[in-house]
Chains A and B, each alone.
Chain A
Amino acid sequence: MRLLTHNMLASNVRGATTGYPLKLEASNWCTKEVELNADFIRGLLPKIDWRALVATTRALGLPDLLPDEQPPEEEIFAKGAADVEGSAIRRIHHALLEIHVQQGSLTCPDTNRSFPIDKGIPNMMLHEDEV
């Protein structure tokens, strides 16, 4: 599970108000390099929840990967930024698309219901009495 997928997911368990963001715990995760596509990031950024993304990177023990506040777009998409090691766009790309959580869990912030992640696949199945 990439962090982009985490950013989308909310719990739908009975009793949850927003069910978002799901608290991530990861006992095993890895990174896989993907080519950076600046146009894709540009289209994606306004649609995602920055704070939830930052929280997941911190949960993985990466306190300095992303700042609390989203940097201004002029900075993220500055000419040539994609070629600079450690630039904002490279970090955002890395966080969203290159990190894969293999084992761990997602916890609903409203109900504390925990959803396990096994072999990279989050189990969001609900029991009949939870719907």
Chain B
Amino acid sequence: MKLKQLEGLLGGLTQFPNPKLELEQYPTGPHIASRMLYTAENSFDDITGKVVADFGCGCGTLAVASALLDAEHVLGIDIDPQSLELAQENAADLELDIDLIWSDIKSLNFKVLPVDTVVMNPPFGTRKRGADMEFLAMGLKVASKAVYSLHKTSTREHIKRMALRGCNAISAEVLCELRYDLPHMYKFHNKKEVDIAVDLWRFVPNARR
């Protein structure tokens, strides 16, 4: 599938009608999501024919993108049941099958680990300190091949240190810097649109278990 096609299909997904502030529910826009998954597949062979998990899947953009790129099994996990319902509808609209689990990321317990790749747009940890790290730590525990994630560029050094030292990752690489257009969603956003720099990361977990 071409990048433009992927971006187009993701642009048709329904996003959160009432985003929840405490969960930092920012939609992953089609521009960023398509580039993230397209790079994961075309540069690293991490999606097609793989087991892919989307942590904090929200309305399922990254999970749907994985399924569109022919991941063999896609798993989306979120704490918010309304988001999961939306994710299910989004997948069904495109005649895709994704599995969904209603759970907190930090209390996930997987006994066997067939997940190859974790993709996520985690909370940036702005409202709840450390939320981004909980996601990253769990991603690096669950994935055997790679973790793709978005983090604010302003936290780059911290993320790198945490991934390599704190979570024992083999490598932590910024693939590109993207502009994240936050639409005016919450009351504390006083500008009409907030444009922040985010890094697209690829982490390689230490898969010797």
Residues of chain A touching chain B, judged by Cβ–Cβ distance below 8 Å, are 1-2, 4-5, 7-12, 18-21, 32, 34, 37, 39-40, 44, 47-49, 52, 97, 100, 119-126, 131
Q: B49 interface residue, CB < 8 Å from A?
A: yes
Render B71-88 as a binary contact track against A, CB cut-off 8 A, 1 for contact. 011010001010011001
17 contacts between A and B (CB under 8 A): A2-B99, A4-B51, A4-B73, A5-B73, A5-B99, A8-B111, A9-B109, A10-B110, A12-B108, A12-B109, A37-B72, A40-B72, A44-B51, A44-B114, A47-B113, A120-B100, A125-B79
Residue from B81, B88, B102, B111 having most chain A Cβ neighbours under 10 A: B111
B114 contact set on A, CB distance < 8 A: 4, 7-8, 44, 47-48
Chain A residues touching B, majority SS: loop
Picked from A49, A119, A125, the residue with its CB within 8 Å of the CB of B88 is A119
Residues in B49-90 with C-beta less than 8 Å from chain A:
49, 51, 72-73, 75, 79, 81, 84-85, 88
Residues of chain B touching chain A, judged by Cβ–Cβ distance below 8 Å, are 49, 51, 72-73, 75, 79, 81, 84-85, 88, 97, 99-104, 107-115
Cα separation A10 to B113 with both chains bound (whole Å): 11
A1 contact set on B, CB distance < 8 A: 99-101
Picked from B72, B102, B108, the residue with its CB within 8 Å of the CB of A121 is B102
B101 contact set on A, CB distance < 8 A: 1, 5, 9, 121-122, 124
